[in-house]
């Protein structure tokens, strides 16, 4: 496979606690994700799925090892450099949409683009394109409270990719949805990955959705294992 490496974890350790009470979650974890690839992270609660996503997304620092995002070795970077990579290279989607309630769907998708320095007309145009791509262009003027759960998650996905990141990390993005709606949301997400060349790592308890991805990994004894 000649696709670009979007994410590479090498020997990653992550521990919590202090003194004699230390809980080791990740123990020398290795993982590689390439552009255009969509990978399911399937593991029981408490094994470190969210920790892995937080370390991969530069929200937490590993205690040992390295996290490489689009060729950038991040383990020793300062906070400002990590923030810049997170803003430009990484998109996040969570189980709850976390949309800003006082803004419309369109404005929510514009927000990260404006923060990144795009003009308002440019941000608006891209937001409209993403809404159309997610098949909810007609809902752009609606606030989150006026959208269904599936529509809210599709807006959240569009917002996550508004700045054209290389890497998308999703933590149970369909966990709050009924099976049929979850299927629609995953189809939209999968199409986005295929068309844009994104690399996506998606934590999910939904084995049916996991089976549709390119491969599945789990966490065992603090290490990432292929399933």
Task: Give the residue among 44, 70, 45 at the shortest CA–CA distance from 57.
Answer: 70
Mean pLDDT value across the chain: 90
- pLDDT, residue 43, reads 87
What's the mean pLDDT in 32-43?
A: 94
Residues whose CB falls within 8 Å of the CB of residue 213, separated by 6 or more in sequence, listed in order = 38, 39, 40, 190, 202
Write down the pLDDT at residue 18: 67
How confident is the model over 202-214, as pLDDT tens digits? 999 888 889 999 9
Q: What is the pLDDT of residues 124-154, one digit of tens each?
A: 999 999 998 888 999 999 999 999 988 998 8
Our measurement of the distance from residue 100's CA atom to the centroid of its chain's CA atoms, rounded to an integer in Å, reads 18
The mean per-residue pLDDT over the stretch 163-185 comes to 86
pLDDT score of 175 more than 70: yes
Q: What is the pLDDT of residues 57-85, one digit of tens each?
A: 999 999 999 999 999 999 889 999 999 99
- Domain spans in the chain, listed from the N-terminal domain onward: 37-59+80-226
Joined together, the tokens standing for residue 26 give 């990740």
In angstroms, what CA-CA distances link 42 with 26, 39, 120? 15, 10, 39
37-59+80-226: CATH topology: Rossmann fold (3.40.50)
């Amino acid at each position: 496979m000649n696709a670009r490496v979007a994410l590479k974890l090498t020997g990653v350790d992550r521990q919590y606690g202090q003194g004699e009470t230390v809980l080791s979650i990740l123990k020398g974890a290795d993982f590689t994700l390439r552009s255009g690839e969509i990978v399911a992270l399937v593991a029981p609660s408490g094994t470190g799925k969210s920790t892995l996503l937080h370390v991969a997304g530069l929200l937490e620092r590993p205690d040992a090892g390295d996290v490489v995002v689009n060729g950038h070795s991040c383990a020793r970077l300062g906070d400002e450099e990590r923030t810049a990579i997170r803003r430009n290279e990484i998109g996040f989607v969570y189980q709850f949409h976390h949309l800003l309630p006082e803004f419309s769907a369109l404005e929510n998708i514009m927000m990260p683009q404006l923060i990144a320095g795009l003009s308002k007309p440019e941000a608006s145009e891209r937001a409209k394109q993403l809404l159309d791509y997610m098949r909810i262009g007609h809902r752009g003027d609606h606030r989150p409270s006026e959208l269904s759960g599936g529509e809210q998650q599709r807006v959240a996905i569009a917002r996550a990719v508004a700045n054209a990141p290389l890497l998308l990390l999703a933590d149970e993005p369909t966990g709050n949805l009924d099976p049929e709606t979850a299927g629609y949301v995953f189809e939209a997400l999968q199409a986005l990955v295929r068309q844009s060349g994104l690399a996506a790592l998606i934590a999910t308890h939904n084995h049916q959705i996991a089976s549709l991805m390119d491969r599945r990994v789990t966490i065992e004894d603090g290490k990432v294992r292929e399933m």
